[in-house]
C-alpha cells in the first residue's frame, strides 16, 4: 500500500518525498480533479493526503470523495505553515464521529 500527496506547494511535496511519499502539486480545480482521477486509478495507493489549502480549492468535491470512496483513505494535513485552526478541526471530527458537539 502506498501513500500519495496532493499538495499546493513544492515545499510540502519535497518534504514528504524525503519520507518516501510520492505526490503532485496543484493550484486549481481542474488539476486537482485530474490528480485525484489518477490516484483512484492506481489500486496500489491506499492513503491519499491533501494539504489544507488544496482542500480549500474545492471543499465540496473533497467532501464528496470522502463520503463515496472506499479506497483510498483520504486525510487532510497541514502544510508547511501549520494548521489554520486545529481546535476547530478536532471539534469537527469528534462531532462528526460520535455526534456530540464540544
Query: 41-55, pLDDT tens digit by residue?
Result: 999 999 999 999 999
- Domain holding 21, by residue range, is 2-98
CATH code for the domain in which residue 15 is found: 3.40.50.10580
pLDDT score, position 43: 92
Is the pLDDT score of 102 beyond 60?
A: no
Confidence of residue 2 (pLDDT cuts 50, 70, 90): very high
Q: Residue range 13-24: average pLDDT?
A: 92
Q: How many domains does the chain have?
A: 1
Distance CA 77, CA 41 (A): 22
Phi and psi angles of residue 49, each rounded to the nearest 5 degrees, phi first: -105, 140
Q: Residue range 74-99: average pLDDT?
A: 68
Amino acid at each position: 500500500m502506498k501513500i500519495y500527496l496532493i499538495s499546493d506547494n513544492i515545499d510540502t511535496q519535497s518534504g514528504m518525498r524525503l519520507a518516501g511519499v510520492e505526490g503532485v502539486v496543484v493550484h486549481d480545480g481542474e488539476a486537482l480533479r485530474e490528480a485525484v482521477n489518477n490516484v483512484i486509478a492506481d489500486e496500489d495507493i491506499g492513503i491519499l493526503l491533501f494539504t489544507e489549502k488544496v482542500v480549500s480549492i474545492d471543499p465540496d468535491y473533497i467532501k464528496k470523495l470522502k463520503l463515496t470512496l472506499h479506497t483510498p483513505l483520504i486525510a487532510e494535513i497541514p502544510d508547511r505553515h501549520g494548521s489554520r485552526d486545529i481546535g476547530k478541526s478536532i471539534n469537527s471530527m469528534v462531532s462528526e464521529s460520535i455526534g456530540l458537539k464540544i
